[in-house]
Amino acid sequence: MGYVRQSMMVRFEMENQLAASAAAPLPLSDIDAVLTAQLAVAWAGEDGEERRLGWWRSDLAAEFGGEDLFKRLLPRTWPWAVLQGAREAARLKDAELRQQDHDPDRILSLYHLGFEPDERIEERFQSLKRSGSSPREALPGLADAIEPAWNREHFLDWIHGQGRTETTATPVGRRLKEHPSASIEPLVRRLVAGLVPLPDTYPLPYVRNTG
């Protein structure tokens, strides 16, 4: 009976820790890391006049594409607008693939990390957009991923810098073999690492939320 009681107390303590972790606010450093990854992958995945990986049909972060338009429409915030548009194209493709799963809401991916994290990330994006800083000033990590001219090998180097992960091919994408971390920043790093090898279509690295 003592062993059972001790086991129950340990389990109760673990559940309390998990609940506290879930309720704790996301650190700004984690949110900025997620935004950096989302914007970098969104930029790299564009397929337009300036073709990069060709994962989504958008040509926003390009000199004669969205940049030319947004410079005239939004002279102060156009650098944010072009990345925001590319990020939205990436989010839509991510959602399209997740919808092919029998329980898409439980899939956690680079552009779908749960209702509350996604809300915090969007709020932070809008705040940075209004700050008057450029994307590279507000999110210095973007300079490591986004170059003036597309370079596939440079982008691969950036992905490799996020770490390594193993994935399993599934009908909807690439499922990470490791159990997801309780912290969002290491999880996002592994999701980015799951993009390699770089295929012709978006591979949707993901984990399944079992909570």
DSSP codes, 90-122: HHHHHHHHHTTSSSGGGEEETTB--HHHHHHHH
Q: Rounding to the nearest 10 degrees, give the CA dihedral for residues 11, 12, 13, 17.
A: 100
Instruction: Write out the chain's pLDDT in tens, 211 residues.
Output: 443 344 334 333 433 433 344 445 789 999 999 999 999 999 999 987 778 999 998 876 666 666 666 677 776 788 898 899 999 999 999 999 999 999 999 999 999 999 999 999 999 999 999 999 999 999 999 999 998 889 999 999 999 999 999 999 999 999 999 766 668 999 999 999 999 999 999 999 999 987 6
Q: Is residue 1 part of a domain?
A: no
Q: Which of 17, 29, 58, 32 is nearest to 125 (CA)?
A: 32
Q: Is residue 148 part of a domain?
A: yes
Model pLDDT, residue 70: 65
pTM of the shown model: 0.84
Q: Is residue 135 part of a domain?
A: yes
Q: Is residue 10 part of a domain?
A: no
pLDDT one-digit tens code per residue, 184-194: 999 999 999 99
Model pLDDT, residue 152: 95
Q: Is residue 189 part of a domain?
A: yes
Domain that holds residue 91: 26-208
Q: Is residue 70 part of a domain?
A: yes
d(CA 110, CA 154): 20
Strand 174-176 to strand 205-208: parallel, antiparallel, or no bridges (unpaired)? parallel
d(CA 100, CA 155): 28
pLDDT one-digit tens code per residue, 78-114: 889 889 999 999 999 999 999 999 999 999 999 999 9
Domains held by the chain: number? 1
Residues 158 and 195: beta-carbon distance below 8 Å? no
Dihedral over Cα of 61, 172, 151, 135: its sign = positive
Given strand 167-169, what is the order of strands in its sheet? 107-109, 205-208, 174-176, 167-169
Q: Is residue 204 part of a domain?
A: yes
Q: Is residue 15 part of a domain?
A: no
Model pLDDT, residue 130: 92
Model pLDDT, residue 6: 43
Model pLDDT, residue 21: 41
pLDDT one-digit tens code per residue, 150-164: 999 999 999 999 999
